[in-house]
Amino acid sequence: MSDALSYLGVPLSRPRVGFFELTSCEGCQLQILNNEATLLDFLNLVTIVNFREGMSERSDDYEIAFVEGSVSREDEIVRLREIREKARVLVALGSCACFGGVNRLKNRFGDLAWVKKEVYGDFAIETRDVQPLEDFVTVDLKIYGCPVKKEEVERIVTNLVVGKAVRLPEYPVCMECKANENICLFELGEPCLGPVTRAGCDAWCTGNRRGCWGCRGPAEVANIKELEKIMTRHGFSREVLIDRLECFGGFASCLDTLTGKKKKAGRNKA
């Protein structure tokens, strides 16, 4: 790969990039490595200096930090703040980093001691309520999804390198579904959060006849009350709606309105 990088004839530098993980399955990082067709082009855009899944060499001299995973332990708060201090740009990579993700489901029980006992028995384990990165540090950019869409990551990284604005879709997945000429899954008897979930995945799940679970969080205007009417009209209970809205954590504020619960305050940001 050449070190020379240019855009419209203007020389560009390859920013130093690090990938990091907190509590997660590391599937979002794996998505980037899995994109063999364009992986070399992607690697030519940046200089990766820290990426545990893809290389053994490590350096803390990075400009852009991609952080996957949610915060579920006290030591992760310390590590996250150290990463934030070193990085010029911090990117929350995936639903866990953006919202808490599926890890956040344990918070719904409201009794951490009970959860630890049920899951781990008498084995001592350090854990805490799950929170997204932005509860502790300033997040400059979010890349949504569980896992992230690798084509979207490449587009966003390209924009960062060439200095273009990063624009995320404000409209819901339903628009992508219609553009792809998919049959509405409600008509096939499948519940779906497509009407209220932020687009950008190219209707990944719904295009494969799987109802949306809202991993990208709410669209700019998410009418949850109207979605509840749609769900009821198609024979789905309120509990089914709440289960889907709770799954990835992105609809926490919407759930507060729907269920009357109050959102817990986060920690101070560093």
* Per-residue pLDDT tens listing for the chain (270 residues): 455 676 666 677 889 999 999 999 999 999 988 878 888 888 888 999 999 999 999 999 999 999 999 999 999 999 999 999 999 999 999 999 999 999 999 998 989 999 999 989 998 889 999 999 999 999 999 999 999 999 999 999 988 888 889 999 999 999 999 999 999 999 999 999 999 999 999 999 999 999 999 999 999 989 999 999 999 999 999 999 999 999 999 999 888 767 666 555 455 566
Domains and CATH numbers, the chain: 5-162 (3.40.50.700), 173-259 (no CATH)
Distances (CA, A) of 79 to 23, 74, 86, 182: 12, 9, 11, 43
Q: Tell me the residue length of the chain.
A: 270
Q: In this structure, are residues 71 and 130 in contact, taking their beta carbons and an 8 Å threshold?
A: yes
Q: How far apart, in whole angstroms, are the C-alpha atoms of residue 231 and residue 99? A: 24
Distance separating alpha carbons of residues 229 and 236, to the nearest angstrom = 10
